[in-house]
Each structure stands twice: as structure tokens, then as C-alpha cells.
Structure 1
Amino acid sequence: MTAAGEDAPQYGETWVYESIVGALPGASLSGRAAIALQIAIFQASLFVLAWVYDLWAVVPAGTAAIGVAAVGSALMLRFSTATRKLDLPPTYQRFLFSSGIEVVLGVLAFVALVTHLFVYGPQSGDSALLPALLGPDPPVIVVYLMLLVLWDLCYRIGTSWWAAVVAAWRSYRYTFDADTAAALRRTDANNVAFGLIQIALLPFLREQPVLFAAVAGHVVAVTVVSTVAFATIETEDATAV
């Protein structure tokens, strides 16, 4: 008889996001339930704080960020689930899931963002984002929620970028049978979709040229690299002479 959870992916075969959800004591959440809980907590917190501090102007931007992060969670889970079903080289799966590089990239993106928000933006003379959204004296708890949502976004951006880079290496390094190649092309297209979803953030960054360029540049880079990975997958039949 199979033990409960035996068929579930093991730690080291998952994104860090999946490992955290799966490690919650006493919790057994499906992917959809975890994403729904994520949206509910963030969105309810946003509305409550907007009401308490009369910051309704921040709701559209906050909702867009929460929505993009939630879509990112869904696409990450679809990507990882589809990838684990395939018979792929262990090295590729190890680089993708076990290295933790997506966390490193997310941390680097988040630190750069915080530096821009609190140091570079105010010193450069550009329109400061925090005062524009939250007023000259932003409430501490509102800033806390904002940074939490932004970390969520940065982590998913780091994951998307790492998936694109590893996919390009995979397509250069290995050949696959036709069915596996087709499935991998779908995962690459999934990553492109997540990159394009982030365009929804750009209207809120029109007065922030550095952040606008960073997000737009990321979208373009992930799209280009994932498309190259998609287009250069070689099948065993194609290489046979």
C-alpha cells in the first residue's frame, strides 16, 4: 500500500515556494488553495489598510502587484508540475529546482528595488515612488505590506529568469524525443506568458524611469531567452543521420 504523500515531489525537486507551502505543519494545501489563500490575505490586508489610513489611491497598483504575483504562483506550479512529469536529465532538474538560484536572483532584485525606493530615488531628484503612493509620512504597517508584496514579485521574477536561463542551457546541451521536446516547448511558452503578464505593472511605473526600464527589460530578456530555448530544442529524430 502506498503511503500518503509518497507520490508528492520531495524537497530538492521543488521550487522554494513549493517547499515552504508543503512544509507548513498540519497544513495540506493544494496549489490552487495556496494561491487563493495568498490572494485573499494580501488583498484583504490591502483593502483594510487603505480604509484605515485613507490610502485608496494605492489600491490599483497594489491589486496589480498582488495579481501578477498570484499569476506567477500559478504559472510556477504549472511549470514545475509539468517538468517533473517528464523523463529529463537529472542535471537539468537539479539546476532548475535544487540549486536555490531563483532565491538568490530574487534577493538581488529585491535589494536593488529597496535601494532604489529608499536611497537612489530620493537622491536622484526623480519622482519618489513612496511619497507619491503613500504620502509624505507613510504608515509603517503599510510599508511592511508593500515590501512583502514586492518581495513576492521579486522572487517570482527571479524564478522566471532562472527558468529561462536553465532552459536555454538545456536546449544547447541535450536532445530529446519528439514528445518530450513538445512538452518542454510548452513549459518555455509558460515562462514567456509569465514574463508578458508583468507588463500589467508598467502603467504604474510611468513616472519611475529606472523601475520602468528594469521591469520592461526583464520582460524582454525572459521573452527572448525563453523563445531561443523554445526554438533551439533538438529532437533525436532531427539529429539522426
Structure 2
Amino acid sequence: MIGTRDAVDGDPTFGDTWVYESLVGGIPGLDLSARAAIALQVLLFETLVVGLGVAYGLSLAAVVGGTVAVAVAAAGSVAMLYIGTATRGLALPDAHRRLLFGSGVETLFGVLSFVAVVTHLLSGAPAPFDPFGGGRSPAPVTFVALLILWDLCYRIGTSWWTALVSLWRSLRYRVAPETARRCRRLDAANVGFSLLELALLPLVVGQPLLVWGVVGHVAAVTAVSTAATLLLRTEP
């Protein structure tokens, strides 16, 4: 019978968490619940967005765009924490958990996404909701914009990796009926987060490459996660 390790029943050990979870849980002197960590994330980023908007006279579109990006990133954090916690409670082999968390592939996908978007912008494409209409943004504005962009790209990469691992899981293992039900819920949660990413489309209107990048990612996650759900086999 497939079982889970005791190490994941309480505080998860290194290698059993997303990089995001490891960072939050590894800061000395900081003991935050999942809800508090997400609330702090939203408060910090939204304060930066609004504060810079006031300090530098950014356009309303830029501030609203930043707020939307912060909200989507926060939704990604909720999805990651839910999927991570629920996955550690599944009766699946250790190999599944090691592949999902310990490989760090979600970070690689996040880096590739981030580099692709930055390369696109450096190649002369207008920045989404450019607050200065093509002018040079102050360094603090650029820094925060890139920080939020990385936050989004990391969560997008995590969503894609989760979908791929779910498909691998369905092709490789047979599971108990209850485990299958919980796996399908996790697949649905991943699709749900990917659909929320469509809220980013107004930020990239007029930039076909970025529009197709967002839409293509959502379509791919939905297709792969749906296939993972349909191909999931239960034990006789």
C-alpha cells in the first residue's frame, strides 16, 4: 500500500515544499501562518505600487495594472499553498513528491518565463501600462515592476510544472478511489488558478506575443490537467 512519510504530516521538510514555502518558513524569527504570509505579501506589494504611484505621479492605468498583477500573484500563492499542503497528504509514492517539489523545475520554468518577457521588453516592446508613455521610468518603479513580474512568472511556471507532474502521475500510478478524488480536486485547483491569469490580458493589450503567451499557457495547463484527470486510474 502506498503511504506518506511522517515528515510531511507536520512541518514539511526541505525537498517537500515549493521554493516559495521554503523561503517563508526559513526566515529566522518569522513564524507566519499561510494566511498571514499571503496577507503580508499583498500588503507589501500593494503598498509599494500605490506608494510609488503617488510619489512619481504614475498614471491610474499603471497603478490599476500593478494592483491586478499583485492580486493574481496572491491568488497564485493561495493555489501553491493549497496544492502543496494537499499533495503532501496524498497516498502517493515519495517519487511523486520528490519530482514535484524537490526537483526545483518550477523555478526553472519561472526563470525561463521571466527572461523571455524581459527579453521581449528589452527588444523594444512597450512595457505593459507604461506609466510614462514610452519615457524612462525611475529606478524604484522599474525595480518593483520587475519584482512583481518575477512573482507572476514563478507562479506561472509552478502551475505548468504541476500540470505536467499530474499527467506523469496519472500515466504511472494506480491510486485508491479516495486518492483519485483528491487528485482531481488538485488538478481542478490548478486549472482554476491558470484561468485567473486571464486577468493579466488587459495589461498586455496591443502586444500579441504576450497575449498569446498568457492565453497559450492557460490553454496548455487546462488541456494537460484535464488529460491528467481523465487518465487517472484507480486500483481494482
> Could you tell me which of 65, 69, 89 is aligned with 1:65?
69
2:131 is paired with a residue whose SS is helix
Partner of 1:160: 159
Please, what TM-score do these two structures have when normalized by structure 1? 0.91
Please state how far the C-alpha of 1:120 moved relative to its aligned partner: 5.0
Task: Give the aligned partner of residue 3 of structure 2.
Answer: none
Report if aligned partners of 2:170, 2:233 keep a CA contact under 8 Å in 1: yes
Give the aligned partner of residue 197 of structure 2.
Answer: 198
TM-fit CA distance, 1:131: 7.8
Q: Helix, strand or coil: the match of 2:109?
A: helix
What is residue 17 of structure 1 aligned with on the other side?
A: 20
1:189-226 deviation per Cα after TM superposition (whole angstroms, max 9, x unaligned)? 01000100001011221211110010110000001101
CA drift of 1:132 comes to 3.3
- What is the distance in 2 between the residues matched to 1:185 and 1:138? 45
CA contact (8 A) 1:131 1:137 kept: no
Identity level (%): 51
The residue type equivalent to 2:10 in the other structure is D
CA distance in 1 between partners of 2:23 and 2:9 (Å): 18
Change (3 A) 1:93 1:51: same
Contact 2:25 2:31 survives alignment (8 Å): yes
1:201-240 alignment, distance < 5 Å:
201-237=200-236
Q: Which runs of 5+ in 1 are unaligned?
A: 122-127
1:78-89 mapped onto 2 (5 Å cutoff): 78-89=82-93
Which TM-score applies when normalising by structure 2?
A: 0.93
| 2:146 matched residue in structure 1 | 147
CA-to-partner distance for each residue in 1:82-122, whole Å, 9 max, x for gaps? 1111111111111001000000000000000110111252x
Is 2:48 aligned against 1:49? Answer: no
1:118 aligns with 122
What is the aligned length? 227
Contact 1:58 1:134 in 2 (8 A): no
1:147 Cα deviation from its structure 2 partner: 0.2
Structure 2: which 5+ runs fail to align? 1-7
Contact 2:62 / 2:130 at 8 angstroms: preserved in 1? no
Distance 2:98 2:81 in 1: 17
Shift of residue 6, structure 1, vs aligned partner: 8.5
Partner AA of 2:166 in structure 1: A
**3-state secondary structure, aligned to 2:195:** helix
Tell me the distance in 2 between the aligned counterparts of 1:94 and 1:208: 38
Provide the C-alpha distance between the structure 2 equivalents of 1:24 and 1:209, rounded to a whole number of angstroms: 40
Tell me: CA distance 1:198–1:6, structure 2 relative to 1, closer, same or farther (3 Å).
Answer: closer
Q: For residues 144-194 of structure 1, what are the alpha-carbon distances to aligned partners after superposition, in whole Å with 9 as ceiling and x for unaligned?
A: 000000000000000000000010011001000100000000000010001
- Distance in 1 (CA, whole Å) between partners of 2:205 and 2:129 is 15
User: Which portions of structure 1, spanning 4 or more consecutive aligned residues, are displaced by more than 3 angstroms?
Assistant: 130-135
Q: Which residue identity lines up with residue 200 of structure 1 in the other structure?
A: A
> 3-state DSSP class of the match of 1:8?
coil
Q: What letter corresponds to residue 165 of structure 2 in structure 1?
A: V
Q: 1:98 aligns with which of 102, 105, 129?
A: 102
